[in-house]
Amino acid sequence: MSSTAQAGGVPVLILREGSNRSRGRETQHANITAAKIVAESVRSCLGPKGMDKMLVDSFGDVTITSDGRTILDEMDVQHPAAKMLVEVAKAQDNEAGDGTTSAVIIAGELLNKAEELIDKNIHPTIIIDGYKKAAEKALETLEKIAIPVDLKSPEYLKKAAITAMASKLVAEYKEYFADIAVKAMLEVAEKEGNKYKVDVDDVKVEKKTGESLSDTSLINGIVLDKEVVHSGMPKRIEKAKIALLDASLEIEKPEFDAKINIESPDQIEAFLKQEEDMLRDMAEKIITAGANVVVCQKGIDDMAQHFLSKKGILAVRRAKKSDMEKLAKATGGKIVTKLDDITSADLGYAALVEERKIGDDKMTFIEGCKHPRAVTILIRGGTQRMTAEAERSLHDALCVIRDIIEDPKVVAGGSAPELEMSSTLKKYAETLPGREQLAVKTFAEALEAVAITLTENAGLDPIDVLSELRSRHEKGETWAGIEVLEGKIQDMLKIGVIEPITVKRQIIKSVTEAASMILKIDDVIAAGKMKAPPTPPGSPGGQYPGMGEY
């Protein structure tokens, strides 16, 4: 389409040359198609029978995953509407931590079906209104069918963790991982009034290639992927008093080139002596404060290492900032940024600090911390790709556990809640006037996409399964869903396929928002691509290079 209008025969140019504009039906069609393609690309990954994808980035690095968000992140999507669907996956991941694939599939289906309505001359605004009403009703249904959980018995937590990992590469060890995840999260959960709060980041996850997934372990404390800096230092300290330093134990090099003129050997000696004294001084301050362990965020000079080791102090350098913060919280220590200020009050406490050999590497374990709410899950696995996917799966498990701890309500899975919402919506639609009714019905049908996709991925016939599921829900079997491992319709609650209500609630919210946003667009104005970076005027050449090209 052109960006010009005719005024009395004279074209009026309002956009910069090279800009692109598309409008109306054409835009809607293009946007919907783009979003549909994104949804299509993750379809085959849904559920325990879903497939994995092998993603190769521009550096040739390979990731193997079935995680919706990871796939879309790596795909480097360009189309603006497609990007909005990628945003749905991100929002879902941030808010609930699981359900990303389902969200993208449902959003794609909402748009796909909206297109049929637009073709029937129903205006997008009516569709959007209908979708909003449907979403409200769906959320209401969700709250109605949800089952409250008593956190005193962690049975549902474990089941939800197992469900979240059922569709991942680690499925074989899902029970084992679920136990670890539940223990870790309960350890770091804190009571606030009559509710619990828990942060997934409080569970530190480290991974080390070697052994197998079943050697993954939960450590009551913090594990640093660092070794003790000096071979003369002790490798094990009990009743550790830990100095946490965000200051370097090195002589700062000047930022500019400085020259020192030395005329005699004495001067060299004096110069080196002075350096040594400064380093000794630094070590002395730590020793005086009474520390027997040093965790330093920056470097530690060889000479300083020597002084510390002579006093039997165990030191670790270049610790990550996030680890320093976790250590401060766990050991009750303060991070010291100016060495001059360090006192015994700044030191943290742990019952044991020890370097251990894990695979080919050494790691430092800080256990029995003052504040018990510090745990690390150390993932082991045959290959680096395996541990990376295990970490992603574990993340989903930790997130669903958090969801339930913070909002203790669950639903069953295997498309049961989606079908229950769908069935309620179909009845609700009957009460609405013509066009809105169509939109609400459409929403109801889009929710069935989860059942269809799970079934297809299991190699079953979606038409048979869907019609049976529909009729069972019609008869009031709230938790009828498709169990894909056996390929049978089952009461998903009875067989313990459990999910947090938070995940399902967030899916409804984010798909409705995304679909509405994409449907509302009827005009895309895109600036032309910049061909070369603009050169500032007046630069050599005198011209304005690139004029008219961007």
The residues carrying an active-site annotation are 67, 100-101, 396
- Cα dihedral 69, 71, 74, 75, rounded to 10, equals -110
Give strand pairing partners of 523: 23
Whole-number Cα distances in Å, 518 to 32, 109, 136 = 7, 13, 19
Burial category of 550 from C-beta neighbours within 10 Å (exposed 0-12, middle 13-18, buried 19 and up): middle
- 500 binds ligand ADP per the rule CB under 6 A: no
Q: In angstroms, give the least distance from the CB of 151 to Mg ion.
A: 22
Kindly tell me which residue out of 45, 48, 97, 98 binds Mg ion, with binding defined by CB under 5 A: 98
Cβ 133 to ligand ADP, closest distance in Å? 24
Residue nearest to ligand ADP (CB): 413
| Tokens matching residue 373 | 């709410």
The verdict on 445 binding Mg ion (CB under 5 A) reads no
Distance CA 198, CA 375 (A): 13
Candidates 122-130, 162-170, 357-365, 529-537; binding stretch for ligand ADP (CB under 6 A): 162-170
Q: Which residue is nearest to Mg ion (CB)?
A: 98
- CB closer to Mg ion out of 98 and 250: 98
Binding of ligand ADP by 102 (CB under 6 A): yes
Binding mask 214-253 for Mg ion (x = CB under 5 A): ----------------------------------------
330: exposed, middle or buried (C-beta count within 10 Å: 0-12, 13-18, 19+)? buried
Scanning the structure block, which residue is given the tokens 């409200």? 136
483 binds, among Mg ion, ligand ADP, none (CB under 5 to 8 A by kind): ligand ADP
Burial 331-365 (b: 16+ CB within 10 A, else e): bebbbbeebeebeeebbbbbeebbbeebeeeebbb
Q: What token pair was written down for 198?
A: 């828990």
What's the CA gap between 536 and 488, in Å, rounded? 68
The distance in angstroms from the start CA to the end CA of the chain is 18
Q: Does 108 bind ligand ADP (CB under 6 A)?
A: no
Structural element, H or E, at residue 242: strand 236-245
Token pair in block for residue 6: 């005719």
Q: Is 163 in the site for ligand ADP (CB under 6 A)?
A: yes
Does residue number 367 form part of the binding site for Mg ion (CB under 5 A)?
no
167 binds ligand ADP (CB under 6 A): yes
Q: Does 450 bind ligand ADP (CB under 6 A)?
A: yes
> Residue 171 or 352: which CB sits closer to ligand ADP?
171
Contact pattern from residue 466 through residue 485 relative to ligand ADP, giving x for each residue in contact according to CB under 6 A and a dash for the rest = ----------------xxxx
Provide, rounded to whole angstroms, the least separation between the CB of residue 487 and ligand ADP. Answer: 9
CB of 164 to Mg ion, least distance (A): 5
Which backbone phi and psi does 133 adopt, to 5 degrees?
A: -60, -45
Query: Minimal distance in Å, beta carbon 432 to ligand ADP?
Result: 28
DSSP state of 203: E
Residue 114's CB: how many other CB atoms inside 10 A?
26
* Helix and strand counts by DSSP (H, E) for the chain: 16, 23
Q: How many residues bind Mg ion (CB under 5 A)?
A: 1
Binding site for Mg ion (CB under 5 A): 98
Binding site for ligand ADP (CB under 6 A): 45-48, 50, 66, 68, 98-102, 163, 166-167, 413-414, 450, 454, 482-485, 497, 499
